[in-house]
C-alpha cells in the first residue's frame, strides 16, 4: 500500500540534500566549536556561517540569532527569560491568546501558578485570528510582554503582528512571536516585524529535528534558560549541535531557492482540495481555515453530524488504515482523544472538534495524493 503523508505541519521529511550535508559533521568534522585546535575551528566555521546565512534569510543580524534544540525551547527561553527579568519590577502582566501552541500556553500557566504573573488570553475569531485592536486595548501600565504566534499551527490563520508592534514603539513592552509554522510559507523579516523575539524550527522546513533558532533583538533583556556555559553569546549554555546546525543551514539554502515555487504549489494543491471537498460534501463540510490571511498549505475541516455519517473517535485511525496520514490538531497534543483546544476556542463543541482534520501539504505531495485522500475520506465520512 502506498502511504500518503499530509501532516507536514507536524513535521516535514528531511530533504536528501540536507542529510548529505550533515554526514561529514558526524564523522569527519566532529570537533567541539569551543575548542581552539583545528578540529574545533572547523566546527566553529560552520557554526558561524550557518548563523550568518539563517539570519540573513530571515532579515536579522547574525549576532541576534542563537541556536536551540527546538521551537519549544525557544518559546520557553523568550517567555520565561523575559518574565524572570521582570520579577520584582512592578510589572506582572502578559498578553497572549487562547489558541497559542502548547509550548506557549503551558509556559504561561506555569508563570501564573508559580510566580503569580497575570495573563490576559485574547479569544480568536472564527478562523483562529487575533484582533490587533483587542490586544492593544488589553495593554496596561503593568504589561511587559505580548506573545502571539504569527500563524496558527492548526488552522493556518495569520495574525497581523506588524499592526500591533508599530503601536508599541513608545512603550516598554517586549513582543514575542512564534513563527515556527510560518517559515517557508510566508515572507518573514524579523527586523521589519519589530519584534523582540521570534522562533523558527528546522524540521518544519525539510531540515532535521532537534535544532531551532531564537531571534533576540538588540538590547532586549532576558535571563538565560540554560546555564552551564558561555556558548551562544552567553545566552544558551551547552555544546552546539554542529551536524544539525549544518542541516538547518542547508534547509534554509533550499528554501531560499524554492520558497516562491513552494508557495505557488501549495496554493494549487490547496485549491484542488478545497474545491473537491466542497463539491462532494456541499454545506456538510465546515472549513476552519479561511481563504484569506491563511497559510497556503493548511486546510482544517470539521463535519456537520446532521448531514454526514462518521465516527469521530475512529476517523484518524480509519484514514491511517487506508494509508493516509493527517492529524486532528497539533502534534504536541496528539496521542490522546482530547479535542483540539484551538477548535474549541473558535466555537466547536467537543464532538465536532474531536472529529476534525488538519490536512497540511508539503513539497513532496502531488495532485494524486490529494485525489486519493478525498477518495479515502468519501468511504469513511458519508452523506446521509
Active site residues: 332
- How far is the C-alpha of 262 from the C-alpha of 332, rounded, in Å? 25
DSSP character string of 282-316: GGGEEE-S-SSSB-TTEEEEEE-TTTEE--GGGHH
Contact predicate 123/147, CB 8 Å: no
- Please provide residue 24's backbone torsions phi and psi, each rounded to the nearest 5 degrees: -60, -25
Beta strand segments in the chain, E: 4-5, 65-68, 93-97, 118-122, 143-147, 174-178, 197-201, 212-216, 285-287, 298-303, 308-309, 324-325, 357-360, 382-383
- Asked whether 58 and 200 are in contact (CB, 8 A), the reply is yes
Q: How far is CA 40 from CA 26, 190, 280, 312, in A?
A: 13, 31, 60, 54
Whether 324 contacts 4, CB under 8 Å:
yes
Beta carbons within 8 Å of 133's beta carbon, 6+ residues apart: none
Amino acid at each position: 500500500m502506498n502511504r500518503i503523508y499530509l501532516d507536514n505541519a507536524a513535521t516535514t521529511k528531511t530533504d536528501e540534500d540536507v542529510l548529505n550535508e550533515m554526514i561529514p559533521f558526524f564523522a569527519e568534522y566532529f570537533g567541539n566549536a569551543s575548542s581552539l585546535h583545528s578540529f574545533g575551528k572547523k566546527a566553529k566555521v560552520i557554526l558561524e556561517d550557518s548563523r550568518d546565512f539563517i539570519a540573513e534569510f530571515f532579515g536579522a543580524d547574525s549576532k541576534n540569532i542563537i541556536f536551540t534544540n527546538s521551537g519549544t525551547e525557544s518559546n520557553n527561553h523568550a517567555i520565561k527569560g523575559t518574565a524572570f527579568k521582570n520579577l520584582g519590577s512592578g510589572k506582572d502582566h502578559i498578553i497572549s491568546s487562547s489558541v497559542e501552541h502548547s509550548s506557549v500556553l503551558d509556559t504561561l500557566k506555569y508563570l501564573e501558578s508559580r510566580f503569580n504573573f497575570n495573563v490576559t488570553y485574547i479569544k480568536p475569531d472564527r478562523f483562529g485570528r487575533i484582533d490587533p485592536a483587542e490586544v492593544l486595548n488589553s495593554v496596561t501600565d503593568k504589561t511587559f510582554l505580548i506573545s502571539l504566534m504569527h500563524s496558527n499551527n492548526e488552522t493556518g490563520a495569520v495574525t497581523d503582528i506588524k499592526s500591533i508592534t508599530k503601536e508599541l514603539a513608545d512603550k516598554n513592552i517586549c513582543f514575542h512571536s512564534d513563527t515556527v509554522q510560518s517559515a517557508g510559507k510566508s515572507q518573514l523579516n524579523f527586523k521589519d516585524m519589530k519584534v523582540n523575539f521570534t522562533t523558527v524550527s528546522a524540521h518544519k522546513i525539510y531540515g532535521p529535528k532537534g535544532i531551532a533558532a531564537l531571534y533576540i533583538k538588540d538590547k532586549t533583556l532576558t535571563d538565560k534558560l540554560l546555564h552551564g556555559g558561555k556558548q551562544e553569546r552567553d545566552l544558551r549554555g551547552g555544546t552546539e549541535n554542529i551536524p544539525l546546525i549544518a542541516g538547518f543551514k542547508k534547509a534554509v539554502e533550499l528554501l531560499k531557492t524554492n520558497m516562491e515555487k513552494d508557495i505557488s504549489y501549495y496554493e494549487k494543491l490547496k485549491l484542488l482540495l478545497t474545491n473537491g471537498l466542497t463539491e462532494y460534501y456541499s454545506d456538510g463540510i465546515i472549513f476552519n481555515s479561511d481563504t484569506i490571511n491563511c497559510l497556503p498549505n493548511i486546510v482544517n475541516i470539521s463535519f456537520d453530524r446532521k448531514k454526514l455519517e462518521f465516527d469521530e473517535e475512529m476517523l484518524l485511525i480509519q484514514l491511517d488504515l487506508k494509508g493516509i496520514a493527517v492529524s486532528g490538531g497539533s502534534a504536541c497534543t496528539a496521542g490522546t482523544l482530547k479535542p483540539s483546544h484551538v477548535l474549541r476556542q473558535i466555537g466547536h463543541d467537543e464532538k465536532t472538534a474531536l472529529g476534525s482534520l488538519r490536512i497540511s501539504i508539503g513539497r513532496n505531495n502531488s495532485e494524486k495524493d490529494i485525489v486519493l485522500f478525498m477518495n479515502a475520506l468519501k468511504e469513511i465520512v458519508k452523506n446521509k
